[in-house]
Structure 1
Amino acid sequence: MRRILSLLGLFLLTSFSFAQEVKLEVYAPSLVAVGEQFRLTYSINKQPTSLTPPEIKNFEILAGPSSSHSTSVQVINGRVSQSETISYTYILEANKEGKFTIDPAVAVVGNQELKSNTITIEVIKQNNSAQQQQQGQGGEQQEQEQARDDLPNSELFVSVDVNRRSVYLGEPIVATLKIYTVVTLANFEDSKFPPFNGFWSQEIETTPNIEFQRENVNGRLYNVGIIKKYLLFPQKNKNLEIDPFELVVLYQKRSNRSQSIFDDFFGSVETYRKKLVSKPITINVMDLPSNAPETFKGGVGSFKLEPTLDKKTVKTNEAITLKIKISGSGNIKLIDSPKVEFPEGFEVYDPKTTDKITTTANGASGYKLFEYVAIPRSPGNFTIPPIEFTYFDPSKAQYVTLKSEEYNVRVSSDGADSGTVSVYGYGKEDIKFIGKDIRFIKTGKLGIKPYSTFFFGSLMFYLTIIFLLLCFGAATYYMGKHQKELSDIRLIKNKKANKVARKRLLIAESHLKTNSRDLFFEEIHKAMWGYLSDKLSIPVSNLTSDNARIELKAKEIDDIDIEEFMRIISVCEYARFSPATDDSEMNSLFNSAHQLIMKLEQIIKK
């Protein structure tokens, strides 16, 4: 039976591997220098019947193709997954500068023919200063190491790159914090990011791990990594400066100083620290044209206006919802709500605002939704005028106004406003019944009392004053006494000693039920010593068996009770070193402690 199950599992595993999509891919650096050696690798996730590489021109083949094969099997939640990778690697050398394309390779898997992607490699020629600097590094290495290894800034630096340096007010800028290096980095330490004063900033999501890629900077190859990306919206129409970005890095270099025979053979590597500071960047912020219409709400970018009205036929006191959706790309987050002219007789609430905005390296895009809720209070036919929204388009350097259609709303009576006077422009709650808002002049006999019968100045008035003063004096006395008692910490502890001890005994009882032996004895011990400390106003740290006996004797406690107290303390202290105690003994100890504290509480008085 076991053999059958093994064969079945092998069959399922094989079937799963055949069900995977077969891919043939090529990997190589996109940028290399003249004379540099690099790897060209073809990778396929299934054993091919044959692989035909392309004709490699413009590069010298130093070695290859060398093949390697790897297989991994994973079982997650009962599901089996298998991955297989077969790689064919060439070692190439670039001999001349230019951009060169390597054609696809062709692989045959079963009856299927696969082609890899085409790859383009740019070969540059590094300038003489960069080459001389690299060659000179070996000769000066020992001297630099002795002088704290002052690595030139041209070999390791950071910068803040922006996609544009002249923008309009509110036009987004992408700021990228990069690190450029030709040495091996070991780690990053302290960093100080620019505060972006004068900008409204939003961080663009990047990969958690810094991925380095090669870039050509003034004829020299660097490994470049992106630290962070920000989307900046200038808020002031003047030249704004982006402060420097600071980063402390640890980098490694080979050392000629050997500390063992292995260093003489393999070479040694030392780690150095360097603080990198980028150059400040100045952004020219141009003010928006002065002819902005009243319907301009601060939008800069490219947008669409999409208003919708949920109902066009309603009854009085029935709510309608007007939704205005502004979508597009730009500073959507900073756009204010468009102005809507609702007819007289509509009660309008403040708009509810929601948004869904995605921030990428291309800018901020998404939508912002404004929901207006209005309640017509009187019947009739009403018109909501067209909604206008104006934004500034930086690509056209002009304002663009969008306009919707008008909405006709028919409001009928809900039958609840009969008998009221419909006043145009007022809600139903503002209307009063005519004839009932002003009382008539009373013509009957008035109940006028003489002055002497008033409460003010009477005997009852003065008695009430005296009674209130007595109550105030009594309240003041008791409050003062209570405050004095609260300030006496010893008195408070004395009064609460029994309550605290009972609380600890409850905890001990819970440990008793769960058979947590060590915790049970610890809580009994705390309850007994804590009660005695609070009741006798002696710190726990100063309590010993001797002075506890003396103090209890002074409180006229029987010798039997004193010995029982000491027995409970002794059992708790030695419990962790004694053999396991059965449940009956623990129950007996708990009951004894509980009864003793109740007895002491009745005897010991402040």
Structure 2
Amino acid sequence: MVLLLTLLGLTTPSLGAPTISASLSPKSFAVDQAATLTITILEGKGSIDQLPEVDGLLFQRRGQSRQHQIINGSLSSSVSTIFQVQANRPGTFTIPPITVSVEGQPLKTQEIRVAVTPATGLQPPDESLAPPSASDGSEQMAFLRISPVKQESYPGELLPVEIKAYFRSGLRASLNSHPRINGDGFLLTLPAEEPRQTEENVDGIAYAVLTWSGSLSGIKEGEQSLRVAVESTLLLPTGNSRRNRPRGGDPFFGNDPMADFFNQQQMQEKKIQLISPETTLTVLSLPTEGRPEDFSGAIGRFQLEVKAQPTDVGPGDPITLTMTVQGTGNFDRVEAPPFSTNGGWKSYTPTAKFTPGAAPGQGTKIFEQAIIAKDSLTTVIPSLAFSFFDPENNQYQTLHSAPIPLHISGAAEPGKDAGSDTGKVENAGTGGPESRNEQGLPPNEEGKSIQPGPPAANGLDLAPLHPQLGTLHRKMIPLISRPGFQAGVLTAVLLLITAITLKIRARLRTGDPVRSRRQEMTRLLEHRIREIHTARDQGDTRAFLALCRQAMQEQLGALWQMEPGAITLADLRQRLAADATLLSLFGTAETSAYGGCQLSSQEMTEYAQKLEAELRRLA
């Protein structure tokens, strides 16, 4: 057994005490920009109940990530929660210590100082890139449009908005940034996925269109100007290539895509900034008349559902109250309906979980709260109320849940005397007063009087004494000395040692992070190459180039420890040599994200061979 405990001690990773930390990147940003707040829990599990309120700063939860590392045989794990931080005015702010409950123990982060500068001014757009004018009929290469669904909103209300970037068909372009807002009157929220790709005709001219569907949130009352900008890079033919290029060719890539691929010296890059026309929106003040006391700032249209489990409990047993709020609105301001403790209840801090819906602003927020009834005669869980402002009807609304019946078992019934039946004795059989002996006891079957025993202690129903000796056993063998028990313990020990040995071997095989990463890269590459070959055999050029681009992003993302979808051509130019083959391959594949082209089977085969050779060298 000592050997077994020693083996267990050697194979169990030693974890230190849980710690938390908070970091902000960057610590200085403009009003029209945002920073990332990361709260990390090391060696423990915990939950962030609520972020502190800081006047002038807004926090939006962006997600959570987990990381596991094996260092010198010890497993280290961490959980990071990410928030987006935005400001509604310039100045210096302090984020106070954030309390995190880690395995039942409250821990606090350090405070963080934030410097917010005035909004950065957008550069005036190039005349050649301005939106097309229907009056002059000029042909433009690229432009940007923003279309809010209405011109008036309330502070905090999520206003659906659509942003479209137009690129002239046949133009090779890449995005260098996501759309960002100019000014300090609104906050722009966009989904994490890539924009939709479509084609449109504007004044008879074909454009490849990228569309973002997001939401605006006003933070300053009054009339506010709104402009949106997107950074992009255009790949334009040089003067020599224009004179020598043949007519016809692909409408998006300009002409022969493989000619551009093998002769990229004929192209030149031009970084541009697309700016939408200025739009004026009005942010109205929330009415003070009829504002409920429990109004937390929720604006939209919501539904409330309240459930309780279990509803048949014993005295002091906890009950889980599940409150579901779903609909469309600013869920960051949706709080749990307050549960009053004045009616003989004890409640605990609720937890929240938000699940976004398909459209911007849609979602479901579920709160769970533990409650305990102090009074065992309580028969109902009271109704809960949730208040919000409906911008369509321009009035406050309060939703009420139905009371939930409750049964507490084991509670004393009123009016019943628990000791009313004590002390009563009924005569049984022939045991009447005349048949009792001088001590008042009835005789047994043989006519002998039963001797009185000791009185019951405090009225307890104790087991009677046995006057006769029971069955005797010659020898009692302890369980630990029985051969069957010893054989079972030995078998269990051998099985445990075998399992520990197999686990150690598995850790030795998978404990090397470099080896694990290479195996994962190779497995993913083989899967992606099969898809690329399938698209090539089907003659689907668009799917072929998209899969090639995705394969390069996945391999480079694993190698550089970056999100694959965030890798762009600009990242490759910073990290790879100017004559790198992978740079040329990625440049050709990335342009397919904004239009279509047709490659022959031979061209796709040559492209795939070059790509496979480069990616296998990385893996």
TM tier, smaller: 0.3 to 0.5
Please, what TM-score do these two structures have when normalized by structure 2? 0.37
Larger Rg computed on CA atoms: 1
Higher relative contact order (CA 8 A, sep 6+): 2
Greater share of strand residues, 1 or 2?
A: 1
Greater share of helix residues, 1 or 2?
A: 1
